[in-house]
Structure formats: C-alpha cells, structure tokens
Amino acid sequence: QVQLVESGGGVVQPGRSLRLSCAASRFTFSDYGLHWVRQAPGQGLEWVAAISYDGREKFYADSVKGRFTISRDNSENTLYLQMNSLRLEDTALYYCAKGHIVGATRAYFESWGHGSLVTVST
Amino acid sequence: EVMLTQSPDTLSLSPGERGTLSCRASQSVSRYLAWYQQKPGQAPRLLIYDASNRATGVPARFSGSGSGTDFTLTISRLEPEDFAVYYCQQRHISLSFGGGTKVEIK
C-alpha cells in the first residue's frame, strides 16, 4: 500500500519561510506526478502545487504562485514544498498526494498522506 | 480558473435513504471530474474518477454521473459510515476543488 509521510510543519511568523517534505514508499516514485493540497482549519480542500513525474513541469495555484516552490528528488523518493513569504492565510494542514495514473501531472489524487500542519502566526 | 459549486452545503438524511449531491462547473470540464469522501481527522479518499468510474474498493452504492458542467454523486442507500463531507475535483483546466457537501445524520 502506498505510503506518504509529510514532515516539516510548525509555527512560523508572517514573512518567514518553511520547507515541507513528503517521504514516499511502496510505489515507483519516478512514474507519478505529485501534489500538495492544503486544508485550512474547518475549511475545504485547496490544491496548491503539482510536479510532473520527472520534475520538468510545475504548476501552482494563483494564491501561492511566486512564493511557493515544489520540487522532488527521485533518487530519494521525496517531495518538497518550499514556502516563502508566508502569510496568515497560509495556515493549513498540508497534504502530499499521488496522482492516479502514470505520467500524468493534471490528475486525481489517488493516495494521500496524513498531512503536516503549518501555522502562520504573530 | 474553473470554479466548482457544490450543492447543497449540507444534506440531512437517515441511514438507508438515498443521497444525491451536485457539482456544477463554471465551464465545461468534459468528464474529468472526481469525487472524494472525507471523514473528521482523516485525509480525503478518492471515490469516483472520470465522472463515473469507482475507485478501487469503493462500494457499489456510490455512483457518479454527468459531463460538461453538471455532475452528480449518488449514494443509493446510506450506511452509517457514509456520513462525511464530499468534495468534487476537476482536472480538465488546471486543478480545483468544490467547496464540499456535508452529509449528516437526520
């Protein structure tokens, strides 16, 4: 069964940076597009960023474009999200998710981690 | 950006009843739409993809239909474990989610 384990969350002041990691196992990591999806407390789901299986294509939601960077290390089976210039509204549980089909970046989210909580607060 | 509008916000039903959830897109997404179920404290679970295909292990009481801009998730007979929040998501133009429908016990 696919395993995705997020880490790196915490409490940070507005304007500061944080990097999330997602360690993946039990599937061929380099075959699948990967995503970050977030959920603010008591709110719905928001897609944040996507990266293609080979790391060449990256897509971002308008709300994070220019501030967040998604990347991956296929040799280490790890996905990252570098978050800069954090805002209060970035407070959320950040999920790592695996795409549902080999090779596709714009995909459905077939497997999810348990999430890493990011709190932006003064 | 494609906006997905789900209705109703909350659906109050009893176990054994039929549940019908709606998702409307601001422009056509063809059949590139999925449905997820999320229970409190858990990550979402993929139920339906490409409008009408059940994901692995999803019970047959869940079915999806629609194309273009109007989609429906139907739960034929609600089981106690089906009370949760349901989200639709499209992948035709970028990626986006609807706001969710909470299915609660009446």
Contact B95 A100 (CB under 8 A): no
The predicted structure's pLDDT at residue A19: 98
Kindly give, in sequence order, each residue whose CB lies less than 8 Å from that of residue B53, ignoring residues fewer than 6 positions away.
Answer: B64
User: pLDDT value at position B28?
Assistant: 98
Gap between the Cα atoms of A99 and B34, Å rounded: 12
Interface membership of A31 toward B (CB under 8 Å): no
Mean confidence (pLDDT) of chain A: 97
pLDDT of residue B2: 96
Q: What is the pLDDT of residue B93?
A: 93
CB pairs under 8 A between A and B: 50
Please name which of B95, B68, B74, B70 lies closest in space to residue A108, comparing C-alpha atoms.
B95
Q: Grade residue A36 by pLDDT with cuts at 50, 70 and 90.
A: very high
- DSSP letter string, chain A: --EEEEE--EEE-TT--EEEEEEEESS-GGGS-EEEEEE-TTS-EEEEEEE-TTS--EEE-TTTTTTEEEEEETTTTEEEEEE-S--GGG-EEEEEEEESSTT-SS--EEEE---EEEEE--
Q: For residue A115, list chain B residues with Cβ-Cβ distance below 8 A.
A: 43
- Nearest C-alpha neighbor of B38 from the set B106, B104, B105, B102: B102
Q: Taking residues A8-12, what's their average pLDDT?
A: 98
Kindly list the residues from chain A whose CB atom is less than 8 angstroms away from the CB atom of residue B71: none
B4 vs A contacts (CB less than 8 Å): none
Between the alpha carbon of residue A24 and those of residues A83, A88, B72, B80, B90, the distances in Å are 20, 29, 33, 32, 24
CA distance A84 to A14: 10
Residue B76 is predicted with a pLDDT of 96
Q: Kindly determine whether residue A45 and residue B1, on different chains, have CB atoms separated by under 8 Å.
A: no
> What is the CA angle B97-A106-B67, rounded to 5?
60
Phi, psi of B81 (to 5 degrees): -80, -5
| A60 Cβ under 8 Å from any chain B Cβ | no
Q: Which two tokens stand for residue B75?
A: 């739960």
Q: From first to last of its 106 residues, what are the pLDDT tens digits of chain B?
A: 999 999 999 999 999 999 999 999 999 999 999 999 999 999 999 999 999 999 999 999 999 999 999 999 999 999 999 999 999 999 999 999 999 999 999 9
B55 close contact with A: CB closer than 8 A: yes
A52 pLDDT band, cuts 50/70/90, is: very high
- Identify the band that residue A31 occupies on the pLDDT scale cut at 50, 70 and 90: very high
CA distance A8 to A19: 6
Residue A92 distance to chain B (closest CA, Å): 13
pLDDT at A107: 92
Q: Does A100 touch chain B (CB under 8 A)?
A: yes
Give the pLDDT band (50/70/90) at residue A88. Answer: very high
pLDDT bucket at A21, cuts 50 / 70 / 90? very high
Share of chain A above pLDDT 90, in %: 96
Q: A106, B91: Cβ pair inside 8 Å? A: yes
DSSP A21-50: EEEEESS-GGGS-EEEEEE-TTS-EEEEEE
